[in-house]
């Protein structure tokens, strides 16, 4: 993730972690993951972009394990005929970016920055502090 888009990791620290689930399909097995730390002296609210961190995590998984079944294919929130990740993200753009081996972080920024800028302007009158 650091090699793909280090500027997307601002405001947080990533740490390798291992755990043993106590229920579900991996019970009793040693599993690994990444813990996202957003507390302590390294936290920077203005720099932390959690959606980008998660997008980068998906992209890293896809690059490391291209055939990994990353996307669940059952209905989510009664949205039939759509993948849950597409419902959650308002369309297929994130999934398509993750699954495209040639797509770069700059490509995702180009897709999302206009909407983010519009949202910043739309919410500005409602910010009290």
Segments making up each domain of the chain, as ranges = 6-116
The whole-number pLDDT of residue 125 equals 96
Q: Is the pLDDT of residue 31 over 90?
A: yes
DSSP per position, 26-86: TTTS-EEEEEEE--STT--TTT--HHHHHHHHHHHHHHH-TT---S--S-BTTBTTS-HHH
Q: Is the pLDDT of residue 58 over 90?
A: yes
8 Å CB contact between 95 and 71? yes
User: Which residue in the block uniquely carries the two structure tokens 């490391």?
Assistant: 64
pTM of the predicted protein model:
0.86
């Amino acid at each position: 993730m650091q090699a793909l888009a280090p500027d997307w990791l601002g405001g947080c620290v990533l740490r390798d972690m291992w755990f043993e689930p106590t229920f579900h399909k991996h019970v009793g097995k040693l599993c690994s993951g990444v813990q996202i730390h957003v507390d302590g002296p390294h936290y920077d609210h203005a720099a932390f972009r959690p959606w980008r961190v998660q997008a980068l995590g998906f992209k890293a998984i896809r690059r490391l394990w291209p055939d990994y079944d990353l996307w669940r294919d059952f209905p989510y929130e009664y949205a039939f005929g759509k993948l849950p990740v597409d419902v959650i993200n308002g369309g297929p753009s994130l999934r398509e970016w993750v699954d495209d081996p040639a797509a770069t972080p700059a490509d995702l920024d180009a897709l999302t920055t206009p909407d983010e800028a519009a949202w910043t302007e739309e919410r500005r009158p409602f910010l009290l502090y």
